[in-house]
Amino acid sequence: MKALLLTEYKNLEVTDVDEPAVGPDDVLVQVEACGICGSDIHGYDGSSGRRIPPLVMGHEAAGNVVRTGENVTDLKPGDAVTFDSMVSCGQCDFCRSGHQNLCDNRMVLGVSCGDYRRHGAFAERISVPRRIVYRLPDGLPLEHAALVEAVSVAVHAANVTPITLGDTAVVVGAGMIGLLTIQAVRAAGASRVIAIDINDRRLKVAQDVGATDVINSSQVDAVQTVIQMTDGRGADVAMEVVGMTPTVQTAIESVRKGGCVTLVGNVTPTIDLPLQSVVTREIRLQGTCGCNGEYPQCIDMMARGIIDVRPLITQKITLAQGPEWFDRLYKGDPDQMKVIVCPQT
Amino acid sequence: MKALLLTEYKNLEVTDVDEPAVGPDDVLVQVEACGICGSDIHGYDGSSGRRIPPLVMGHEAAGNVVRTGENVTDLKPGDAVTFDSMVSCGQCDFCRSGHQNLCDNRMVLGVSCGDYRRHGAFAERISVPRRIVYRLPDGLPLEHAALVEAVSVAVHAANVTPITLGDTAVVVGAGMIGLLTIQAVRAAGASRVIAIDINDRRLKVAQDVGATDVINSSQVDAVQTVIQMTDGRGADVAMEVVGMTPTVQTAIESVRKGGCVTLVGNVTPTIDLPLQSVVTREIRLQGTCGCNGEYPQCIDMMARGIIDVRPLITQKITLAQGPEWFDRLYKGDPDQMKVIVCPQT
Amino acid sequence: MKALLLTEYKNLEVTDVDEPAVGPDDVLVQVEACGICGSDIHGYDGSSGRRIPPLVMGHEAAGNVVRTGENVTDLKPGDAVTFDSMVSCGQCDFCRSGHQNLCDNRMVLGVSCGDYRRHGAFAERISVPRRIVYRLPDGLPLEHAALVEAVSVAVHAANVTPITLGDTAVVVGAGMIGLLTIQAVRAAGASRVIAIDINDRRLKVAQDVGATDVINSSQVDAVQTVIQMTDGRGADVAMEVVGMTPTVQTAIESVRKGGCVTLVGNVTPTIDLPLQSVVTREIRLQGTCGCNGEYPQCIDMMARGIIDVRPLITQKITLAQGPEWFDRLYKGDPDQMKVIVCPQT
Amino acid sequence: MKALLLTEYKNLEVTDVDEPAVGPDDVLVQVEACGICGSDIHGYDGSSGRRIPPLVMGHEAAGNVVRTGENVTDLKPGDAVTFDSMVSCGQCDFCRSGHQNLCDNRMVLGVSCGDYRRHGAFAERISVPRRIVYRLPDGLPLEHAALVEAVSVAVHAANVTPITLGDTAVVVGAGMIGLLTIQAVRAAGASRVIAIDINDRRLKVAQDVGATDVINSSQVDAVQTVIQMTDGRGADVAMEVVGMTPTVQTAIESVRKGGCVTLVGNVTPTIDLPLQSVVTREIRLQGTCGCNGEYPQCIDMMARGIIDVRPLITQKITLAQGPEWFDRLYKGDPDQMKVIVCPQT
Ligand SMILES: [Zn+2]
Ligand SMILES: [Zn+2]
Ligand SMILES: [Zn+2]
Ligand SMILES: [Zn+2]
Ligand SMILES: [Zn+2]
Ligand SMILES: [Zn+2]
Ligand SMILES: [Zn+2]
Ligand SMILES: [Zn+2]
Ligand SMILES: [Zn+2]
Ligand SMILES: [Zn+2]
C-alpha cells in the first residue's frame, strides 16, 4: 500500500510499504483523513527524538473498517471509526486510578524511539487494537473526526477547570487549541468568554466560534481591559494556551482572587511566575495534559455541533502533497491551522 | 397606591394602600412585572402559615427605580432592576461560609408570619434594601427578569450537580422548574438531556428548550428506555423536579453506578428510598434548595439567551385580574406555567 | 491440603482438597489468617445465592508466599502478603475511569455462583493472581492484615465524604465497620466523633478507638443530644453504618444544613426517606460501596497504628473449629466482631 | 494603661496610653499573651508601609474579658477569649461567597496605613468588635491560644489541598508555619509526612511534632530522596512554606504526576517555574492565603491536642522586654520561633 514515509530527517517520500499485520484483537482501518500534528512537525527534523526514521507518522485519523481480527466481534467492515492516538497500559497506578493520560507506559501511534516503533496513519491503511477504536455516529464527516485528539485536549482542559454556570473565562491564545478551548469552556458553562491574541484574523475566528469578547494584546493592555470588562473584579478562570512568560502572566493577572488559571500551553520549559500574586490572591494554577478518556464525549459533542471544527481545517491534501506541505509547515505558515491528509484521494 | 391585598384567606382585593417607606439604604421600585409563585398559591388559603392577612404578596418582580434612600449612590431613577426574593442575615455561620440559601434568619418579601410582615410586589411600588437589588442589562425585558428566581433555582441545582462535558442528564418532571433545569444542565455541559414527564404538551416544550430526547413515562417504562438509550449504562446524572416516590425512584434507577441524583422537587414529606440500590451502586443524592448568590449569573445568561424563559410565560394580567387568576390557579390549571402580574397596566 | 469445605448449605467439613494450581501469573500463599466475613455467613445457608457448594469460602486473608508462577519476579518465598478479595476486570468503563469497586465484571475469591467458582482462603494454601497481591511491611501481624478488607470499606467511606479539618462527625452504628469508620473519619480530620449505638459495650469500645462522645440511642433521643452537643447546629457529616429507616433518619436529622450523610449500611432494601428535610436543608446522601484501590494506604495506616484493628478481633480459631464457629455466628453472637481462622494452627 | 508604642520606625517604648474606647458592640479584653508576628517585624522598620507610627502593634493575642459594650450579651467578665487578627467587611462579593480571607476591604488590628489606624494588643488591654471574638474552652492556656492565627494559616493550607487518607505529603520548610503545616496535613489524613529543611535542629522538632521522615536538603538531593522513599513515584502532595525558586522547584519535582503543590510561602515576588514539568505532569499549584473562618476548628484542635504549639513558643517576655526583643528579632535570631509578649507580667 502507499504511505508517506519519513526516510530520513526532513525527507518524506510517498512509497509502497507492507500492509500492516492484523492481530486477533486488531482492526484494519482504511484511512480517509489524518491530520498533521505539531508533534509530527517536531518529529520531522528529529528535534523531538521520537520519530526515528524510517517511520510512517500520523496519529490523528479516521476512516472505515476493512476487516477485524478474530477476537473482534463488535465492529464490521464499513463501520466509520476513529481511534485514540495514545495507548495506555491499563496496569500502572495511574491507569488503575483512572488517569490514563498520566500512564507510566503509554505508547503513541506513528512514533518510533529506541526499540519502539509503531507505524502511523499517513498511509492507506493502519492496524490498531480494538480497545482504542471508537465507532462514529452517522453524519459526522471523517475529516472532522480526525480532529478528535485536538478537541479532546480542549475538553479535558475545560474538565479540569472549576467552571460555574455564568462564569467569565479568559482564553489566552487563539490558535487551533485555543479556538477549541473557547468552545469547550462555553459548553462547560462560561457565559462570557474573552479571547486574547495578537492576531486579528484569529480573533475574528474566535468570535465566529463563540468568544463573546476579543482583545488584541498587541494593541491594548490586555489585563487592564479584562479588569475593566469585569467591573474591576477579574475573570473567574483563565485558560493559557501558549506557554510563555508574558502570556502566563496575562492569564494570572486577568483572574480574580480565588480564580483558576489552567495551563495548557508549554512551549517554554521555564517561565517567570509572580509567586506573591498567586499566593496572596489564592490563585490555582492547574496543569493539564492530553485527555483522559474523553473521546466518546468529544465525538458526541462534535456530532451534535456543540464543538465545531470546520473553521480549523484550513487545508486538505493528498498523500502525494505530503512532502511539500510538511516542508511548508516546518518553515512556518501562520495561515494554517489543521492540514488534513486524505490518503484515498 | 394600588395593591393586590390578601384581606383574609382566599380573598384578594385591589385596593389603595400606603406608599411604602423608603429608608436611607432602600430603593423604591415601580413594579412592572411580578410573577405568581407556587408559594403564593400555598399562602392564599393559609395552608403554609406564612401569609397571614392582611398582606400584599409577590416576590418575583422587576421594575424601574423611582427614587433611592440617601445612602444609595449607585442607582438612579429609571434604572431597570430586579431584586432577590430572599434577604439573608449576613451574620450567621451559613451566611459567613457563603451559603446564604441556608441562612438561619432569612426573610422573604411578601410574607407575614407571626410578628414579621413584609409587603410584596403585587403593587404599584415596592421598597427594598439596596443590597438585594440587581441592575438589569439593556435589552432584557422586565417580564423576563421577573423569572430570575425560578431560573436561579434551576441554575443552583445544576451548580450542585457534578456535570462533566458530554454527560447524559435525565430530568424527571417538565414543569416550569424542570424546563429551566433542562436548559441549565445543557448550559453546564450535558450534551444529551432526556426529559421525562407524563404530559406530551410539556415534553414538546422540553424539546423546544433543548431536551435532546423525551420520554412519556405514562406510555413506556422510563427507566428501561433510558437504559436502552445509553447502551445499558444509565445516565450520568438525573435531576428530580417532582418529589414523589415513583419519580425519585425513576431518577435513581436511571443513573449509572457512581452517578448523581439531584433532588429539587419536594412535594412529598417522605418517600420510599431504594437504599441497597443507592449504596451498592454508590449513588449520590444531592438535595438543593433555592439559590445561593446566582442572580447576577442568571441575569447574564437570560440576557445572552442561554436560558430562555419565554416558553414559560403563559399569561400576563393586570392587578385587577389578580383575584380571578389566583382563584383559577388555586383550583389548578395544567395549562399555566408562569402568570405575570403587570401592575402598571 | 486441608480446607474447610462447604459440602452443602449449613454443612462445613475440614477435609483434604487438591492443592491449587499456580498459573504463570499467580502466587501460592500459605494462609496464616483468614477472617470470617458477614458475606460468608450469608453464603453459609444459601440465602445469598453466591456460595453454591461444594466451595471453600474465605476472602479476608494474609499469609506467606510459598512459590510464584514463572512471570512473577517481584515476590519471593517467605514474603508476607495479603490480597484483594475482589478482582476487577480492568477493561470496563468503570475500571478505566478509576472505579474498580463499580466494575461491571468483578469476581470475588471464595465464591461460586452459576458457572463461576473460585476457591477461597479457609484452607492451608490459596493461589491468587499477582496483580491483587500486596506485600506487607515488617511488623504488621498477619492476623491484623487479614482485616484489611474491613478497614478499606471504612477508609473508602471516609474518602467519599467531604470532611474538613476540625469537623464534627456522627457515626451511627458501632459494630465492626462502625468502629473502623470512627477511626477513619478521625484520621481524615474530624476532631470530634460522636458514636451512636444501642449497646453500651460497643460504645465503650468506640471510645477506646477514638470516639470523643458516645450516645446510647436506646436511652436518650440521639438527634436531640447531637443537636445540643453542637450548640444547636448539628454535625457536619454523619456516617450511617446500619441501613435501616430509624438509623438513616437519625443520621439525616443529626447533620447541619448543607451536611453530608454517607450511607455505608444497607441491611434493608428500602427505607423511608424524609425528602423535604433533605431537600430544604440541602443535604447530600452519599452511597459508598467496598473500596477503590485503597489497600496500600490501609496497610500503611495499619502498620503505623493510625487504624487499630486489635479491639475488633474477638476470637482466633483453627480450621477444625470452623464448623462449630460458623454455626455459632450463624445463630448470632453479639459478643463477636471478627473471628479469624488460622489454618496452620 | 501601659503599652508598647512604636514611636518612630525602629523605636519602641513602653509608655502610658489612653484606655481604648469600648463601643456598644465591642469587648474590652485584658491581654495575657500576644505573639510577635513576622509582619510586626516587617512593620518595625517601615518596610511594609503598614505600621506608620505612632502605633501599638500586636494582633496575635488572647486574654480575659474585662467588660462588654451594651449590645454584647453572650460574653461576661472573666471569659477567656481570643480574636481574629483580621476583620472582613461582610459585604463584598468575596465575603458573601464565603471567602473572607479574600475580602476587598479587610482591616487588621495593630496596623496603620494612611488614614486607617487600629491599635493592637501589645498593651494591657484592647477593645475589639464582638463578632471577631472567640471564647476559649477550659484548659487551653492563653499563651497557646495566642498562636491560633499561625495555626489557622496551616490548617487553611491543608484544607485547600486535596489530601486522601494514607497520602504521602512533603513539607518544604520547617519553620514555625512549616511545623504547624506538618501537623495539619497529618491531621487531614496524610499518613506519611516528609519534612525538608536545611537546619537539623528544626528537622528534629519536625519529627517531634509528627513528621515521619526528614531530609536535610543541604546534605542530600531532596528530590531524589523523596523519589526513592516513594518507590519512584513521588509524593501525593507537597506544601511549600518558604517561597523561593529552589524550594518551589523541590516541591514540584517531589510530587507525582497529578499531584498538588500548595504554595504557602511567598518571600520572593517572582520565581522560576518549570512550566513543562507542571503541564506535562498535570500538576496543580494552589496558592493559599491566611485563613477563612477556621478559628473555631483550630481552637478545638488545639484544645484536644491534635495540634500542639508548645514546641513553637521559644520565649515569653514582659512588655518592658519588648524593645530589646524586637531589636533582636529584627537582626535575625535563628533560634527563635514564636516570642510571646505577656503584658500582665
Ligand atoms: Zn497530535
Ligand atoms: Zn511546537
Ligand atoms: Zn498505565
Ligand atoms: Zn417564588
Ligand atoms: Zn405546592
Ligand atoms: Zn444568615
Ligand atoms: Zn468480606
Ligand atoms: Zn471492570
Ligand atoms: Zn500575624
Ligand atoms: Zn469583604
C-alpha A162/C-alpha A151 separation (Å) is 19
Contact check, Cβ <8 Å, B275/C271: yes
Would you call B234 helix, strand, or coil by DSSP? coil
**Ligand nearest, relative to CA of residue A41:** 2
Please name every residue paired with A285 in a beta bridge, in sequence order, or none if there are none: A261, D285
3-state secondary structure of B81: strand
Q: How far is C264 from chain A (nearest CA, A)?
A: 22
- Write the pLDDT tens digit of every residue in B29-62: 999 999 999 989 988 988 877 888 999 999 999 9
Per-residue pLDDT tens, chain D, 345 aa: give them.
999 999 999 999 999 999 999 999 999 999 999 999 998 998 898 887 788 899 999 999 999 999 999 999 999 999 999 999 888 998 899 999 999 999 999 888 888 877 778 899 999 999 999 999 999 999 999 999 999 999 999 999 999 999 999 999 999 999 999 999 999 999 999 999 999 999 999 999 999 999 999 999 999 999 999 999 999 999 999 999 999 999 999 999 999 999 999 999 999 999 999 999 999 999 999 999 999 999 999 999 999 999 999 999 999 999 999 999 999 999 999 889 999 999 999
Q: From the CA of C213, how far away is ligand 5's center (Å)?
A: 41
pLDDT value of position A116: 75
pLDDT at A117: 80
Residues D143 and D170 in one domain: no
Average pLDDT in the B313-322 region?
97
Range A13-17 contact pairs with CB under 8 angstroms and sequence separation of 24 or more: A13/A323, A14/A319, A14/A320, A14/A322, A14/A323, A17/A56, A17/A119, A17/A123
Band (pLDDT 50/70/90 cuts) for residue C218 is very high
| Residues D43, D120 share a domain | yes
C263 shares its domain with C158: yes
- Smallest Cβ–Cβ distance between C159 and the set D164, D212, D297 belongs to D164
Partner D, chain B 89-108, Cβ-Cβ below 8 Å = 90-91, 95-100
Q: Which residues surround ligand 1, an ion (CB under 5 A)?
A: A 37, 149
The reply to whether A298 falls in a domain is no
B264/B241 same-domain check: yes
Q: Render pLDDT for A79-103 as a digit per residue (tens, 0 to 9).
A: 999 999 888 998 899 999 999 999 9
pLDDT reported for residue C190:
98
Residues C75 and C172 in one domain: no
The CA radius of gyration of chain C, in Å to the nearest whole number, is 21
Interface confidence, given as ipTM, is 0.95
- Distance in Å, CA D97 to ligand 10 centroid: 9
Query: Which residues 151-190 of D have a C-beta within 8 angstroms of C?
Result: 155, 158-159, 164-167, 184, 187-189
Q: CA B190, CA B184: separation in Å to the nearest integer? A: 9
Which-ligand-closest: CA of B48?
5
Segment A40-47 mean pLDDT: 89
Q: How far is the CA of C133 from the centre of ligand 10 (A)?
A: 53
Please give the distance, rounded to the nearest whole angstrom, from the Cα atom of residue A84 to the centre of ligand 8.
20
Tally C-beta pairs within 8 A across A and C: 22
Task: Return the residue in A96, A106, A156 with the most chain C beta carbons within 10 A, the one to mutate for interface testing.
Answer: A96
In-domain check, residue A294:
no
Chain B / chain C CB contacts < 8 angstroms: 118
A151 vs B51, which has greater pLDDT?
Answer: A151
The bound ligand whose nearest atom lies closest to the alpha carbon of B107 is 6
**What single-letter DSSP state applies at residue A332?**
-
CB contact under 8 A, C188 and D188: yes
In a domain, A69, yes or no: yes
CATH number at residue B138: 3.90.180.10
Q: Are residues D158 and D136 in the same domain?
A: no
What pLDDT is attached to residue B47? 83
B265 is a domain residue: yes
* CA–CA separation, B281 and B234 (whole Å): 12
CA distance C165 to chain B (A): 15
How remote is the CA of residue C282 from the centroid of ligand 5, in Å?
18
Residues near ion ligand 9 (Cβ under 5 Å): D 37, 149
Least confident of A107-121, A147-161, A173-187, D289-303: A107-121
Return contacts of D327-330, CB within 8 angstroms, 24+ apart.
Answer: D329/D36, D329/D41, D330/D10, D330/D41, D330/D44, D330/D45
Q: Do B270 and C265 touch (CB under 8 A)?
A: no
Of B248, B263, B282, the CB nearest to C288: B282
Q: Which of D134, D191, D288, D298 to mutate against chain C (most C CBs within 10 Å)?
A: D191
Which pLDDT does position C115 carry in this prediction? 72
Please state the domain count of chain A: 2
3-state secondary structure of B189: coil
pLDDT at A128 (0 to 100): 94
A64: burial class by Cβ within 10 Å (0-12, 13-18, 19+)? middle
pLDDT at B106 over 80: yes
For residues C280 and C322, state if they share a domain.
no
Q: Which chains touch C (3 or more CB pairs under 8 A)?
A: A, B, D
Q: Are residues B243 and B277 in the same domain?
A: yes
- pLDDT score, position A107: 86
- Decide if D74 is inside a domain: yes
Contact A282 D289 (CB under 8 A): yes
Residues A101 and A171 in one domain: no
Cα A162 to ligand 1 centre (Å) = 26
Q: How far is D156 from chain B (nearest CA, A)?
A: 14
Closest CA relative to residue B145, chosen from B290, B25, B296: B296
pLDDT in tens, B192-228: 999 999 999 999 999 999 999 999 999 999 999 999 9
A122–chain B nearest CA distance, Å: 30
- Residue D312's closest CA among D122, D198, D83, D149? D149
Of B165, B298, B306, Cβ closest to residue A155: B165
Q: Specify whether A134 is located in the same domain as A233.
A: no
In Å, how far is C91's CA from the nearest CA of chain A? Answer: 8
Q: D-contacting residues of B 32-91, CB under 8 Å?
A: 90-91
Q: CB distance A272–D271 less than 8 Å? A: yes
Q: Among D87, D92, D97, D131, which would you mutate to test the B interface (most chain B Cβ atoms within 10 Å of its Cβ)?
A: D97
Structural domain contains residue B43? yes
- Tell me, in angstroms, the distance from the centre of ligand 3 to residue A86's CA: 11
Ligand number with the minimum distance to the CA of A177: 1
Would strands B338-341 and B26-35 be described as parallel, antiparallel, or unpaired? Answer: antiparallel
Looking at the partner chain, which of C102, C266, C278 has a beta carbon nearest the beta carbon of B279? C266
Range of the domain at B81: 2-147+309-341
- Does B115 have pLDDT greater than 80? no
Q: Considering the domain boundaries, does residue D67 fall inside one?
A: yes
D134 or B87: which leads in pLDDT:
D134
How is B3-31 classified by DSSP, letter by letter? Answer: EEEEEETTEEEEEE-PPPP--TTEEEEEE
Residues of D in contact with B98 (CB under 8 A): 96-99
pLDDT (0 to 100) of residue D118: 84
Picking from C90, C97, C293, the nearest residue to A90 by CB comes out as C90
Instruction: Collect all residues of chain C within an 8 Å Cβ-Cβ radius of residue A134.
Output: none
Quick one: pLDDT band at residue A166, thresholds 50, 70, 90? very high
Phi and psi based region of residue B64 (left: phi greater than 0; alpha: psi -120 to 50; beta: remaining): beta
Is there a single domain that holds both residue C137 and residue C181?
Answer: no
| Closest Cβ opposite residue C187 in set D165, D212, D296 | D165
Lowest mean pLDDT across A109-113, A234-238, C84-88, D247-251:
A109-113
- Using CB atoms, pick whichever of D275, D282, D286 lies closest to residue A243: D275
Looking at the fold, whether A158 and A61 belong to one and the same domain comes out as: no
**Distance set, CA D145 to CA A282, B252, D4, D150 (Å):** 26, 48, 21, 10
Q: Which ligand is nearest to the CA of C276?
A: 5
Give me the mean pLDDT over the C252-260 stretch. Answer: 98
Does any CB of chain A come closer than 8 Å to the CB of residue D328?
no
Residue A142 belongs to a domain: yes
CA distance A273 to chain B (A): 30
Q: How high is the pLDDT of residue A335?
A: 86
Contacts of B6 (CB under 8 A, 6+ apart): B12, B43, B44, B51, B53, B54, B55, B56, B57
pLDDT over 80 at C284, yes or no: yes
CATH of the domain at C222: 3.40.50.720
Mutation site for C-interface testing, chosen from B267, B282, B286, B291 by largest number of C Cβ within 10 Å = B282
Alpha helices in chain B (DSSP H): 38-44, 93-96, 142-145, 148-159, 176-187, 200-208, 222-229, 245-254, 275-280, 295-303, 322-331
Residues of C in contact with A99 (CB under 8 A): 98
Cα distances from A185 to residues A152, D111, D319, in angstroms, run 12, 42, 57
Q: Does C269 touch chain B (CB under 8 A)?
A: yes
